[in-house]
Amino acid sequence: MTIAAEPQPKQQPKDRTHYLYLSVIVAVVLAIAVGLLAPDIAVELKPLGTGFVNLIKMMISPIIFCTIVLGIGSVRSAAQVGKIGGLTLGYFLVMSFVALAIGLGVGNLLHPGDGLNITADVAKAGAKQVKEQESLPDFLLGIIPDTMVSAFTSGEVLQTLVVALLVGFALQAMGRPAEPVLRAIGSIQKVVFRILKMIMWAAPVGAFGAMAAVVGETGVDALKSLAVIMFGFYATCAVFIFVILATVLRVVAGVSILLLLKYLAREFLLIVSTSSSESAFPRLLAKMEHAGVERPTVGVVVPTGYSFNLDGTMIYLTMASLFLASAMGDPLSLGEQISLLLFMMIASKGAAGVTGAGLATLAGGLNAHRPELVDGVGLIVGIDRFMSEARAVTNFTGNAVATIVIGSWTGTVDKERLDNVLAGRLPFDENLLLDEDDEHAPEDRTDEPALANR
């Protein structure tokens, strides 16, 4: 008699990004040692950092094009839901501006890069370039590419942005016939992000070269400035969560932010371990529906929020831009800060949870507005891992709060059930959460939340 073998459980692919981040940390420690012990040699290692930044710059145009086109497509999908979609997008827009304003305020208060002057020659060249800038009409004409294809080869990021907006709105106007094109662009985006992930494996080398050169040139001043921006960023994210989001949640829904954070504790552990809010996407869908928010609201707010409600990313881009400008001896004026950050708010949509996307967006914004500052991006690589955890937690918290807030506004949340769930009287059953394929992106699950707990 033959006994059938029991089916073996599916082996999950190992997450090797932990080795990457450990390598970056080791590279930064070694770079600091080289910079302090052999500053002359350390300064000569700068090309390693420059090469890594150039690889990131190579990916700017395709990333911005794909994310904006697909982002506009998701707006079209959300708008079809009517009132929920309109309130969701309006709320996300307001909270993005609030995050930008807080980041600007803290960044201008701390001035974390003051006194470094890590590339004085580049800063002087940049000042000369600004003085020789063309008039406003010439500038506006300059963002129009000669051809649609030349926008991707000229290195002018604003031209790519114009083409992406035109293509996105054209596909939006086409409606259903445009769906095959959107799927094709979605496939291209996956290829682009796969290449970006490959490039990120060079991050230890880039971080080593950039950090060694900076420490060799400025000594311990660089370490102090990096510590200021990192802890300042943590503090800013904490203020945003426990003051701004907590106030909105309490006023609109009468819910304590502490109870919500406790309810989502397991998801936060998952996010911190992966430095990506995308890893907790299916669990947020399930837990929000379990908490009493109706499925249509969850199905609109959460997936759309993963592309358009990036509060932590907005704060990160704001403070990183101000840091690099100050560190390179050429601070941004208030007008430049607003213009740059509005660009980044648009360019960052749709890139949530992708390793290196924050760096690419930062480099793209600087390249479009202050190209002389792009070389400084290599300095951020060494601490990006530590900042990515905070921005992922902030993004995730913002989307959880948004789901309850939109549900309260539209009357699609069971308040009694919500109170019971957050109080622990109706615990979430982990056995009822369907397994998800980790390779799926949020947009792949927008129409089928895979919820089985209600």
pLDDT in tens, 123-156: 333 333 333 444 446 656 767 887 787 777 776 6
Average pLDDT over residues 65-89: 69
Residue at 290 is within a domain: yes
What single letter denotes the amino acid at residue 204?
A: P
pTM of the model: 0.67
Count how many domains the chain has. Answer: 1
Whether the Cβ atoms of residue 308 and residue 89 lie closer than 8 Å to each other: yes
40 is in which domain, residue-wise? 17-445
Average pLDDT over residues 32-54: 80
Of 312, 414, 323, residue with least CA distance to 353: 312
Tokens for 83? 């009132």
State the DSSP string of 354-383. Answer: -TTHHHHHHHHHHHHH-GGGGGGHHHHHHH
CATH of the domain at 297: 1.10.3860
> Which of the four pLDDT bands, split at 50, 70 and 90, describes residue 21?
low
Residue at 142 is within a domain: yes
| Non-local CB neighbours of 276 within 8 Å, separated by 6+ positions | 353, 355, 388, 392
Dist. CA 247–CA 251, nearest whole Å: 6
Per the model's pLDDT, the better-predicted residue between 453 and 365 turns out to be 365
Tokens for 117? 């002057």
Residue at 5 is within a domain: no
Q: Which helix (H) or strand (E) holds 155?
A: none
Residue at 423 is within a domain: yes
Dist. CA 215–CA 256, nearest whole Å: 44
Residue at 450 is within a domain: no
Residue at 4 is within a domain: no
Q: What is the pLDDT of residue 210?
A: 75
Residue at 10 is within a domain: no
Residue 263 above 90 pLDDT? Answer: yes
Residue at 274 is within a domain: yes
